[in-house]
Amino acid sequence: MPLPYQWQMRLQRWKSLFAGIFGSGERRPQICPSCGALVGINANRCHECGANLRFGLAAWSKGLSEFFGGHAPVTTAILIVNIIMFAAEIMGTLHAGKMSGLSILWSMDSETLYRLGASNYAVVIFRQWYRLVTAMFLHGGLIHIGFNMMVLLDIGPVVEELFGSSRYLFIYIVTGVIGFGLSMFFHPAVGASGALMGLIGILIAVTGKRSSMESKALRSRLISWAISVFLIGFFIGADNVAHFGGLASGFILGKIMTDRQPINSSERNRAYVLGWLAGLFALVSFVLMFLHYGDKLPGVG
């Protein structure tokens, strides 16, 4: 019995991913992921820049991009991780017996959030720096994650297309970490909004470099949006410190980073390094969260 069409396409993506990483599978004319040159069917290295077409940051980045598909693969990956972590929150909250009625809309079990890596005093006291990353993939309820994921899908692909997937991942992780790095001194926090404010900040910086009427109008809307987030945060008690940290760091990155896709092998390789460093930092953070998940809670004998 043949597999459904969706699963056939999914298996083909997996085959392409692992073929790109390990050098197996069908041979066909290729585009070098480092410099963009057309290379031969049986080539293992690019004749223009010398990049390894089977193993390396460029080949792995291309394979992962094809695996997630679409024009914004990192945004898709971030969305998936947020949904998976929210499902873990729900299971933990149900196990703790803390979910009833419509509480899923705005309330998750605090112990579950702590174990899954919420940002709080543990960052400083226990040196659990991984919480600065894991906290940006946790949310306090269905309304919280719903709003944040709508914003992510709205502006994430714009920033990813502008800067390229690798640098976009770097921007997202760095601005989120800086946001929680500031807020951990004030109160516990979770949510993607620090990183999302980083994306808004970088777009404000980019549109400020352009003089067209469209750019000025977009900049005004982004600034109004940022002000609205701070006002709403003030009235509902949201983490405006993380919002500020994300917005400010995003604005600074927007001023110092080239606001276009990498155009040559040197720029692409630098972008790949930034993206992989950010991705590995996030991966290590999640591994540490799992390793510490069963730790005894502070204050519990």
- CATH number, domain at 192? 1.20.1540.10
Domain limits for position 214: 89-292
Closest CA to 204 of 236, 175, 165: 175
Instruction: Count up the domains in the chain and report the number.
Output: 1
In this structure, is residue 61 part of a structural domain?
no
Window from 25-34, 99-108, 151-160, 193-202 with minimum mean pLDDT: 25-34
Are the C-beta atoms of 275 and 160 separated by less than 8 Å?
Answer: no
In this structure, is residue 6 part of a structural domain?
no
The whole-number pLDDT of residue 185 equals 79
**What's the pLDDT band for 15 if we cut at 50, 70, 90?**
low
In this structure, is residue 260 part of a structural domain?
yes
**What's the pLDDT band for 30 if we cut at 50, 70, 90?**
low
Higher pLDDT, 51 or 199: 199
The whole-number pLDDT of residue 263 equals 84
SS3 for 246?
Answer: helix
Q: Does position 290 have pLDDT exceeding 80, yes or no?
A: yes
Higher pLDDT, 199 or 214: 199
Closest CA to 26 of 41, 13, 47: 41
Q: Which residues are catalytic?
A: 193, 243
The whole-number pLDDT of residue 25 equals 45
**What's the pLDDT band for 262 if we cut at 50, 70, 90?**
confident
The whole-number pLDDT of residue 60 equals 46
The whole-number pLDDT of residue 186 equals 79
**What's the pLDDT band for 236 if we cut at 50, 70, 90?**
confident
In this structure, is residue 234 part of a structural domain?
yes
**What's the pLDDT band for 11 if we cut at 50, 70, 90?**
low
In this structure, is residue 30 part of a structural domain?
no
Residue 123 main-chain phi, psi, to 5 deg = -60, -45
Handedness of CA 258, 264, 267, 268 (dihedral sign): positive
Supply the mean pLDDT for the chain: 82
CA distances from 279 to 41, 59, 222, 276 (A): 30, 15, 27, 5
In this structure, is residue 163 part of a structural domain?
yes
In this structure, is residue 125 part of a structural domain?
yes
Q: What is the pLDDT of residues 90-108, one digit of tens each?
A: 999 998 888 877 888 888 9
Structure tokens at 91: 């299971």
Average pLDDT over residues 155-178: 94
**Strand ranges inside the chain, DSSP E:** 30-31, 38-39
pTM for this prediction: 0.79
In this structure, is residue 28 part of a structural domain?
no
Q: Does position 226 have pLDDT exceeding 70, yes or no?
A: yes
Average pLDDT over residues 29-35: 55
Average pLDDT over residues 123-128: 89
